[in-house]
Amino acid sequence: MTVVGAFLLHRRRWVAALLAASASLVVPPVSSADLVDFAALGGRVLAGRFDEVYAGTFTQAGPLQLVLSRVLMAGAADGMPHPLVMVVVDVALMLGAMAACRGRPVREVVVALLALLWLIGPMPWTGHPAESIMAVLWAYAIVVDRRGRWPAAALLLGVSVWIAPVAVLGLPCLLAAGRIGRATRTGLVAAGIAVVGYLPFVLSGRFEMFGHVWPVDPGTLPYLLGLREVTWATRLGQAVLVAGGCAVVAGLLRGRLIAVAAAPAAVGLLRVVTDPLAFGYYWLPVAVGSVLLVALLPDDLAPRRKGLVVAAGYVTVLGVTIGHAMVGALLATAGYLVAAIMHA
């Protein structure tokens, strides 16, 4: 029996995950118009009405996210998914987090608490729940690429971009698995797969995604730099910073298990720090990355270094929860980078 199979058969974990997921519903999730609108657009995708999905600049989500939103909103009421759907998703997230600990009971408790804090943030039901999958796909792409299955890694990364275009920032995660040459080859194939997912909509003749203009929230880094609106051209500059930071972290930790979590976490945090907006769902990749970081900490790592990573994870989620997202992001970024350098 595999380790994962043995984990899933452990009844106490199922009970703990179910109780935790149910407890997460005590804090009423915030209704989001995006999720409702995405579900409607997902219905158009499934109906083959491709010319209507990106006819305006509103839709910045990928086609797969639209379809998944349709599934999540089955039986919805008052603009929110059915409670049973939310519990099922939360249980899956809790079990996945604990399974990553590979049978370490104390680690499971610490990770389960961190995951629960993210779930009652309230996460991930703040508009784009499907975007939590992006970081999972980035992480698993590193794993399969290390096993020599680069086509599978390319597929995983390409599919992540079908969830949202921003997932292209995760391509440098490949540097955690191999050298630049192999990562470049896999990344190019992944980019091709990503493009294929959008082709039906582009060929429909009504694809206006790239005409979108974002406002700039006060207190964000772009605002402090004097920007008052952001276009896709400006986003390219942001992408260079975020992808570059991810590449540095992935390169420093190449070959180490912890890189599976550190690279996706770097993408999420740097995106939050550099973004002109402060939406809650931007934290979904950060949530996944921070939980995986704690779950995958090496056993031989010095206790103070473990404590630094755990503290950074909790500081991040608490910063988001109490409304100081930028402070939490900057402190967590500093903590993770210090931990990475100390372990390099």
Q: What is the pLDDT of residues 4-23, one digit of tens each?
A: 555 554 667 767 777 776 76
Domain edges within the chain: 131-343
Using CA atoms, how far apart are residues 322 and 328, in angstroms rounded to an integer?
10
Q: Nearest-CA neighbor of 118 among 101, 96, 85?
A: 96
- pLDDT for the residue numbered 278: 82
Can you tell me the mean pLDDT for 162-167?
A: 96
pLDDT at 166 over 90: yes
Better-predicted residue by pLDDT, 279 or 212: 212
- Burial class of residue 256, CB neighbours in 10 A (0-12, 13-18, 19+): middle
Can you tell me the mean pLDDT for 274-294?
A: 89
pLDDT at 2 over 60: no
Better-predicted residue by pLDDT, 129 or 9: 129
Torsion of CA 323, 325, 326, 331, to 10 degrees: 110
**SS3 of residue 101 by DSSP:** coil
- pLDDT for the residue numbered 1: 45
Using CA atoms, how far apart are residues 152 and 335, in angstroms rounded to an integer?
32
User: Range with the lowest mean pLDDT among 21-25, 160-164, 193-197?
Assistant: 21-25
Residues 6 or more apart in contact with residue 91 via CB below 8 angstroms: 14, 17, 18, 21
Can you tell me the mean pLDDT for 239-255?
A: 91
- Phi/psi at 215 (5° precision): -75, 170
Residue 298 near residue 204 (C-beta atoms within 8 A): no
Cis peptide upstream of residue 124 (ω within 30 degrees of 0): yes
- Separation of CA 73 from chain center: 20
pLDDT at 62 over 60: yes
Better-predicted residue by pLDDT, 155 or 127: 155
Average pLDDT of the chain to the nearest whole number: 86
Can you tell me the mean pLDDT for 45-69?
A: 95
Residue 286 near residue 316 (C-beta atoms within 8 A): yes
pTM of the full structure? 0.90
In order of 301, 302, 311, 317, the CA distances from 305 in angstroms are: 7, 5, 10, 19
- Separation of CA 36 from chain center: 20
- pLDDT for the residue numbered 68: 96
Can you tell me the mean pLDDT for 262-279?
A: 90
